[in-house]
Structure 1
Amino acid sequence: MTIRITWARAVAALVALALAGLLFAWSGVFNIAASSGHWKVTDWFLHWTMRNSVRTYAAITAPDDPRADAGLVSAAGLFKASCAACHGAPGVRPLPVMQAATPPAPDLSVNAREWTDKQIFWILKRGVKYTGMPGWAARDRDDEVRRMVAFVRLLPGMTPATYRTLTEVPGIADARIATCAGCHGADGRGRGQPDMPILGGQSPAYLRAALTAYATGKRQSAVMANAAATLTPADMTRLADHFAAMPGIGRTAPSGTTEAARIVREGLPKAQLPACASCHAPGKPFPVLAGQRASYIAQRLRHWRGDETVVDARKSQATMPVIARRIPEDMIDPLARYLAGR
């Protein structure tokens, strides 16, 4: 007996298979428990698919400069606070409860060797579905992702002593202050890192407002959002008072007659660029810049220049993207050095 295969029968078979799949899912028979693990073929297929996807999207969307080797302290601090529980760290084992996930987070001292810098950048920024690996918490902070790429790249050869040096400042009894000092230093001067601002000398009110903005997502930084997330208002006040009281930045801009000095004092009226000193001065609700680290000022200005979502400062609280784009590119470094007192 010959069975004729027609389009109607083929469609009916496909519909029957789809209904059978829905019935199986509805029944709850499929075991989704993490403790049950995956079949070996399922595990292979999922990882094969993930590697192919990362390779393709990293090649298309990851930047050509995916790694920034300066500023490892902030990346190490975030890794210690958020990543080491799952992945472990040099001299630190991952938490057993995290390793009970399906799939468990890989050991990056081994796994990092298997990826290129661009692929690590894409994984860090975008995350991976169905693995527990999240995307970067601040989507517009590629500078932070680049620093983490450099840190992850070093993990295969990093010693426990080096890891502790990057993440800890010994001799501080107060746990909250010690956590902040891990990146900002016991003196609030940022441990000499180019991406770290000097906190000493800022007003306590400004530092409290900054912590609140990071905690609520109003100000974007995966590093600082993570640090501020668990702080109570009392914690924020205490930390702001502590670091603001330290010696650090100056209270007035340095003297000079250069183009940078003119921008600070007078702005560039033809470019509708206001004077820096009109906002960034003692008594204003904005940070004092005189004596701030030049590399930090320059990095932030370049970051803001790339934020083209803000087109009118009058209609947004985010005025710096508009202002930064009005500063001539060739004046960013001289302006930063002038404000730093150099």
Structure 2
Amino acid sequence: MRITWLRASLAALVLGLLGLLVAWSGAINVAASSGHWAITDWFLHWVMRNSVDTRSTLTSPREASDPSGLVSAAGHFAAACATCHGAPGIKPSPVFKAATPPAPDLARTAGEWSDRELFWIIDHGVKMTGMPAWPARARQDEIRRMVALVRRLPGMTPAQFDALTGGTARIASAPGLAACAGCHGADGRGRGAPDIPVLGGQKPAYLLAALRAFQDGTRQSAVMGHAASRLSGAEMRQLSRHFAALPGLGAGTGRGGAVNAPHDAAAEQIARIGLPDKELPACASCHTPAKPYPVLAGQKPEYLAARLRQMRGDEKEVDARQSQATMPVIARRIPEEMIDRLAAHLAAAPPR
């Protein structure tokens, strides 16, 4: 029989209709309890590995790991990831172990992936596995810290993981002071981690506004977004008052790490006067006790510098006159070479 375009088209149409009929009939078993055929499981994992290998090579940053923030990464892992993946000393939930496919035990499988591949998986997630994309799309710094933590899981003991989470790993899913203290410390000083700010002595209204912003997504952070999502309004107010009442910021002693920082005239000019030729207002024009902006004196300079760089990357705000969210515009007017110097000066400066 001679094959013609008409016959080929009719055959394709019939096959397509048969496929739709099978799908409509319910004959295909989508139950997670049935698992996959071995060849299906192999094929899906093969496709996934090839996709991750190619796309991570093309898009992941070369510096895909940052071990300087393991405290915050471990706190988030305990709260948001351990339920599926487990953690050192913590078994995954049997509910999620019954998924198809179940989440891998990263203590066994992390070594199968490069840092750039881990970065891509954490950043984008994987379809049809339950692995979500990182919810704060602009926070690559958080992803790099999580890569560093996952890389260390195979050799990490339960005691080491418990120490990273401040002893709260097993109760991290419960909102409240204990869970917050796992990262921020019971004293509100951030447990010495450079990416975790000092909360003690901060303005309670600012802390409350920050929690609300993390909860509704107007301020980007997967770590804080997850933590704040479970808090009620009353709990947010209580936590804000609690941490604000602790000693820390505002003493001008540079408790964040800038003790006895040398005088920097250029940084002081930006802080007190600004740069009129760049339309950069003075930091002191807003960060005063009478205004609802955060206390900077005594904050960790590493944290301040990181926040300024994050704000510089927020291109949504293009005109400070058209929005209350002026910091992205202001941060972009600060010369790059002055960011670390300004952060050190603000952290060590006496309160005004």
Relative to the length of structure 2, the TM-score reads 0.93
**Native 8 Å contact 1:251 1:282 kept in 2:** no
Q: Deviations over 1:313-336 (max 9, x none)?
A: 222333222111111111111111
The structure 2 residue matched to 1:275, chosen from 264, 282, 286, is 282
**Native 8 Å contact 1:169 1:185 kept in 2:** no
Quick one: which amino acid aligns to residue 285 of structure 1? P
- Between the aligned partners of 1:120 and 1:140, the Cα distance in structure 2 is 17
Report the equivalent of 2:40. Answer: 42
Report the equivalent of 2:97. Answer: 99
- Between the aligned partners of 2:121 and 2:272, the Cα distance in structure 1 is 44
- Between the aligned partners of 2:88 and 2:38, the Cα distance in structure 1 is 29
How far is the alpha carbon of 1:81 from its aligned partner?
A: 0.4
Q: Deviations over 1:245-298 (max 9, x none)?
A: 001111679995611111011110100101011111212111111111000001
- Note if 1:118 corresponds to 2:101: no
How far is the alpha carbon of 1:168 from its aligned partner?
A: 2.3
- Between the aligned partners of 2:321 and 2:112, the Cα distance in structure 1 is 48
Q: Deviations over 1:77-128 (max 9, x none)?
A: 0000010010010111111111000000001011110111011001001000
Specify the SS of the correspondent of 1:284.
coil
- Between the aligned partners of 1:266 and 1:335, the Cα distance in structure 2 is 13
- Between the aligned partners of 1:310 and 1:29, the Cα distance in structure 2 is 52
Show the 5 A alignment for 1:320-339.
320-339=327-346
Relative to the length of structure 1, the TM-score reads 0.95
Report the equivalent of 1:301. Answer: 308
- Between the aligned partners of 2:98 and 2:119, the Cα distance in structure 1 is 26
- Between the aligned partners of 2:34 and 2:199, the Cα distance in structure 1 is 50
Q: Which runs of 5+ in 1 are unaligned?
A: none
Report the equivalent of 1:90. Answer: 88
Q: Deviations over 1:110-166 (max 9, x none)?
A: 111011101100100100000000000100000100100000000011110100001
- Note if 1:290 corresponds to 2:288: no
Residue range with higher mean Cα deviation, 217-226 or 251-260: 251-260
Show the 5 A alignment for 1:2-151.
3-151=1-149
How far is the alpha carbon of 1:203 from its aligned partner?
A: 1.1
**How many residues are treated as equivalent by the alignment?**
338
Report the equivalent of 2:198. Answer: 198
Quick one: which amino acid aligns to residue 230 of structure 1? R
- Between the aligned partners of 2:317 and 2:240, the Cα distance in structure 1 is 29
Quick one: which amino acid aligns to residue 313 of structure 1? A
**Native 8 Å contact 1:169 1:181 kept in 2:** no
Report the equivalent of 1:230. Answer: 230
Report the equivalent of 1:187. Answer: 187
Give RMSD over aligned pairs.
1.8
- Between the aligned partners of 1:256 and 1:90, the Cα distance in structure 2 is 46
Report the equivalent of 1:221. Answer: 221
Report the equivalent of 2:257. Answer: none
Specify the SS of the correspondent of 2:310.
helix
How far is the alpha carbon of 1:310 from its aligned partner?
A: 2.2
4+ aligned runs moved over 4 Å, structure 1: 251-257
